Amino acid sequence: MSICESKDQCSFFTNEMDNTPSLVRVMRRRYCESDKEHCARYMIKQMLYKGYTLRDEKVLSELERDLSAMYPNDLYKAQSIIRQMDL
pLDDT by residue for the chain (87 residues), tens only, comes to 688 888 888 878 776 566 677 888 888 889 999 999 999 999 888 887 777 666 666 666 677 777 778 889 999 988 888 887 765
Please give the helix or strand (H or E) that residue 53 lies within, else none. strand 53-54
Note whether residue 69 is domain-resident.
yes
The answer to whether the predicted template modeling score (pTM) of the entire model surpasses 0.75 is yes
List the domain range (segments joined by +) for residue 65: 40-86
Note whether residue 9 is domain-resident.
no
Q: Give, in degrees to the nearest 5, the angle at Cα 27 between 34 and 48.
A: 70
Q: What is the pLDDT of residue 73?
A: 92
| Number of neighbouring beta carbons within 10 Å of residue 27 | 19
Check if the beta carbon of residue 3 is closer than 8 Å to that of residue 42: no
Note whether residue 25 is domain-resident.
no
Note whether residue 35 is domain-resident.
no
Q: What is the pLDDT of residue 77?
A: 87
Note whether residue 28 is domain-resident.
no
Q: What is the pLDDT of residue 23?
A: 81
Number of domains in the chain: 1
Note whether residue 71 is domain-resident.
yes
